[in-house]
Structure 1
Amino acid sequence: MILKTTPVPAAAGLTAEIYDDETASLGYVPTHTQAMAINPQAYLAFEAMLQAITASMDLRRYELVTLAAAQAIGSTHCRLAHGVKALKAFPEDQLAEIARDFRNAGLEPAEVAMMEYAQKMCRDAAGMTDADTLELRGHGFTDREIMDITLAAAARNYLSRTLLALAVDLDVPPSLSPELRDALLAPLAPSP
């Protein structure tokens, strides 16, 4: 990335607060956070938006949507970062299966449909129709849940595409096992 980020020791004000939160949560400040903290107000606004979206979503559902969206976009930054976060909702071996091919990873049919919806939205939002929403409704999702799934995938587009456009350096979270890292970086299994 050619934009200059604030080094961790030199951070002040909102940037220092953002860095401190990441250090407390992750043990380090990822490159994507350093990049987004160039505009700390926008970073905080994005975090507030995510909190509003996820307030009624469970962690499992949010991480599945996020992983599916990041994979569809081609965002290794978000796949790796959320691979770590998803370990709070999944055992590592199942998460590796989900990363390689979520359609054959022992997920509930509703979860697979939700992930397919997120991927389609990220690849071709203009091509989506009422049939896509009806598919989720057929799996028992409420209107609020469908909205939250859509917003979570859209939010991933915002962050992932920003990082990709700026060619932000990729860092691998130090707590990620080599097996899970490889699964998260594997190419997407083809759609049936």
Structure 2
Amino acid sequence: ALARRPAEWRAFFAYHDALMLREEGSNPTGTLTKGEREMIVTTTSAANKCLYCVVAHGAILRIYEKKPLVADQVAVNYRKADITPRQRAMLDFAMKVCLQADQIEDADFEALYGHGFDDEDAWDIAAITAFFGLSNRMASFSNMQPNPEFYLMGRVPKPPKPA
């Protein structure tokens, strides 16, 4: 959908890659794993009712976390999902940024710090949430549909390659 405007497409994916594909440990103090990044995307995309991002990033989440149920759980109700207390705190913060950014206060940061997150992590959580707010809206408005393969990725074993 974004390919209709190549300069915007390049800028969009440059920021996407800076947020999502950074190697773990390359941020001086940030600690989010690739799986946690995808967990933020899946959870907040569900709140934004973006089918494309929930399905596509849910598939990536299942693969990174090696947990076939986690994407569905966080998409429907992350508070009931089989995730760690640290991940729950991360998603609490992400959802507040997603739905009530104007109400973020010191106590929200303190809750993150209590689970080992720092200011760089808070920035990453907020930036991922905000970026995918844009992505969700563009995907929904343009009626982007997930590839059928995304629905099964990370749920069933990959078929063996022909010999």
Does residue 49 in structure 1 map to residue 15 in structure 2? yes
Does residue 112 in structure 1 map to residue 78 in structure 2? no
Given that 1:70 and 1:78 are in contact with CA atoms closer than 8 Å, whether structure 2 keeps it comes out as yes
Q: Secondary structure at the match of 1:159?
A: helix
* 1:11-50 alignment, distance < 5 Å: 35-50=1-16
Structure 1 residue corresponding to 2:68, chosen from 75, 87, 92 = 92
- Per-residue CA deviations over 1:92-142 (Å, capped at 9, x if unaligned) read 133333333222222111101111211111111112212212211111101
RMSD: 2.0
Shift of 1:40: 1.6
* 1:63-102 alignment, distance < 5 Å: 63-90=38-65, 91-102=67-78
Q: Distance in 1 between matches of 2:53 and 2:133?
A: 10
Code of the residue aligned with 2:5 in structure 1: it is N
- Per-residue CA deviations over 1:2-21 (Å, capped at 9, x if unaligned) read xxxxxxxxxxxxxxxxxxxx
Any stretches of 5+ residues in structure 1 without a counterpart?
1-34, 181-192
TM-score by length of 1: 0.67
Q: Distance in 2 between matches of 1:46 and 1:160?
A: 13
Given that 1:84 and 1:173 are in contact with CA atoms closer than 8 Å, whether structure 2 keeps it comes out as no
Q: Which of 84-93 and 150-159 deviates more?
A: 84-93
Q: Secondary structure at the match of 1:139?
A: coil
Q: 1:169: which partner in 2?
A: 143
**Closer, same or farther: CA 98–124 of 1 in aligned 2, 3 Å:** closer
Q: 2:158: which partner in 1?
A: none
Given that 1:118 and 1:150 are in contact with CA atoms closer than 8 Å, whether structure 2 keeps it comes out as yes
Structure 2 residue corresponding to 1:149, chosen from 104, 125, 132 = 125
Structure 1 residue corresponding to 2:135, chosen from 159, 163, 182 = 159
Q: 1:124: which partner in 2?
A: 100
Q: Secondary structure at the match of 1:92?
A: coil
After TM superposition, where is structure 1 displaced by more than 3 Å over at least 4 residues in a row? none
Given that 1:68 and 1:116 are in contact with CA atoms closer than 8 Å, whether structure 2 keeps it comes out as no
Shift of 1:64: 0.9
Shift of 1:80: 1.3
Code of the residue aligned with 2:6 in structure 1: it is P
Q: Which of 151-160 and 47-56 deviates more?
A: 47-56
